[in-house]
């Protein structure tokens, strides 16, 4: 990387000088194995992704502070999914750098290694083990030594059971632990998948349209859930549902992508009032 970053001064390629200080209040979280000495968990710098000459990402700059809940919005085709694909190693950038903490170069790692390094991703469609119970899904996802887990005599410790219980409450599925995951509603499956990601103790959580297809009640509960995670995890949420974004963004930063670059960034109220954002995305 070419420079030392100060997350209190977001490096996105928009004018943020009039915006609030977003960066420093998350410092109490100390991600294991990821060097976040400068306060950020993710740095994307000048990322370009070309598909046969078409730039899905065009000189994109964005960083996420440790413990931040960042919402990413933007019109269809803005490059949101491609950005997540770059972060998770599914797509290699044509140019630019992507760092997890100060020293982990994501462009050099496989998807598997990136997941292992602590970046968890939830795709739009839930992918739970439908033939297993809710409890078993969380157990299967739990971060532990796989050699121990596969032995015949494996028994969970009370600490591990407590961890699953806490997760069940968080994802609003306590009381449903013995149900087959395949019998859950769409919203419940989404929560279960978020729970499965949390059981892996990721350092950065990427959520792609978590409330797509949910009822209003489920959407409201998902907002509550994410607000409970605020400050405890570093989270990036891509979403089109503006009511939901407003609920979870609160006073945090919202980034607007357009044509592969950052068009605007700031508090929800600021981006909603931004003429350029209204023009390309929110409509007049």
Ligand X SMILES: Nc1ncnc2c1ncn2[C@@H]1O[C@H](COP(=O)(O)OP(=O)(O)OP(=O)(O)O)[C@@H](O)[C@H]1O
d(CA 202, CA 123): 15
- Binding segment for ligand X among 8-16, 78-86, 112-120, 190-198 (CB under 6 A)? 78-86
Binding flag, residue 3, ligand X (CB under 6 A): no
Binding flag, residue 163, ligand X (CB under 6 A): no
d(CA 100, CA 204): 9
Q: What's the min distance (Å) between Cβ of 172 and ligand X?
A: 26
Binding flag, residue 76, ligand X (CB under 6 A): yes
Binding flag, residue 56, ligand X (CB under 6 A): yes
In the complex with ligand X, the residue whose CB is nearer, 168 or 238, is 238
In the complex with ligand X, the residue whose CB is nearer, 199 or 238, is 238
Q: What's the min distance (Å) between Cβ of 81 and ligand X?
A: 3
The H-or-E segment that residue 265 falls in is strand 261-266
In the complex with ligand X, the residue whose CB is nearer, 23 or 74, is 74
Binding flag, residue 79, ligand X (CB under 6 A): yes
d(CA 111, CA 167): 26
Q: What's the min distance (Å) between Cβ of 51 and ligand X?
A: 3
In the complex with ligand X, the residue whose CB is nearer, 25 or 58, is 58
Q: What's the min distance (Å) between Cβ of 147 and ligand X?
A: 37
Q: Using CB under 6 A, which residues numbered 110 to 139 contact ligand X?
A: none
Binding flag, residue 74, ligand X (CB under 6 A): yes
Among 1, 51, 215, 278, binds ligand X (CB under 6 A): 51
Which CA distances in Å does 234 have to 67, 101, 102, 106, 177?
A: 4, 12, 15, 17, 27
- Find out whether 195 and 170 touch, Cβ atoms under 8 Å: yes
Binding flag, residue 6, ligand X (CB under 6 A): no
**Residue 212 CA to its chain's centroid (Å):** 15
In the complex with ligand X, the residue whose CB is nearer, 134 or 235, is 235
d(CA 55, CA 159): 48
- Binding segment for ligand X among 69-77, 99-107, 157-165, 224-232 (CB under 6 A)? 69-77
Binding flag, residue 82, ligand X (CB under 6 A): yes
Binding flag, residue 58, ligand X (CB under 6 A): no
Q: Which of 184, 198, 246 is nearest to 219 (CA)?
A: 246
Q: Beta-carbon neighbour count of residue 255 at 10 Å? A: 25
Residue 121 burial (C-beta neighbours within 10 Å; 0-12, 13-18, 19+): buried
In the complex with ligand X, the residue whose CB is nearer, 36 or 82, is 82
d(CA 230, CA 9): 20
The 3-state DSSP class for residue 139 equals helix
Among 48, 81, 97, 160, binds ligand X (CB under 6 A): 81
Q: Which of 54, 63, 128 is nearest to 94 (CA)?
A: 54
List residues near ligand X by CB under 6 A: 51, 54, 56, 74, 76-82
């Amino acid at each position: 990387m070419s420079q030392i970053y100060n997350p209190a001064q977001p490096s996105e390629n928009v004018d943020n000088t009039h915006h609030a200080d977003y960066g420093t209040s998350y410092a109490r979280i100390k991600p294991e194995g990821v060097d976040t000495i400068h306060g950020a968990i993710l740095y994307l710098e000048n990322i370009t992704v070309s598909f046969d000459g078409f730039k899905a990402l065009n000189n994109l700059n964005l960083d996420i502070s440790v413990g931040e809940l960042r919402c990413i919005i933007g019109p269809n085709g803005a490059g949101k999914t491609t950005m997540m694909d770059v972060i998770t190693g599914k797509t290699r950038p044509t140019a630019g750098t992507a760092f997890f903490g100060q020293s982990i170069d994501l462009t050099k790692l496989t998807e598997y290694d990136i997941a292992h390094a602590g970046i968890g991703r939830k795709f739009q469609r839930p992918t739970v083990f439908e033939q297993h119970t809710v409890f078993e899904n969380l157990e299967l996802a739990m971060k532990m030594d796989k050699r121990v887990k596969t032995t015949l005599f494996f028994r969970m410790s009370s600490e591990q059971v407590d961890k699953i219980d806490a997760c069940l409450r968080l994802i609003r599925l306590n009381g449903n632990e013995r149900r087959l995951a395949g019998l859950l509603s769409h919203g419940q499956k989404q929560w279960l998948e978020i729970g499965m990601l949390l059981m892996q103790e990721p350092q950065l959580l990427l959520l792609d349209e978590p409330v797509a297809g949910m009822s209003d009640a489920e959407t409201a509960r998902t907002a509550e859930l994410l607000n409970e995670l605020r400050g405890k995890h570093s989270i990036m949420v891509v979403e089109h549902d503006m009511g939901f974004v407003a609920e979870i963004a609160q006073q945090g930063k919202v980034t607007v992508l357009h044509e592969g670059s950052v068009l605007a960034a700031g508090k929800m109220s600021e981006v909603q009032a931004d003429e350029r954002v209204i023009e390309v995305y929110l409509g007049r």
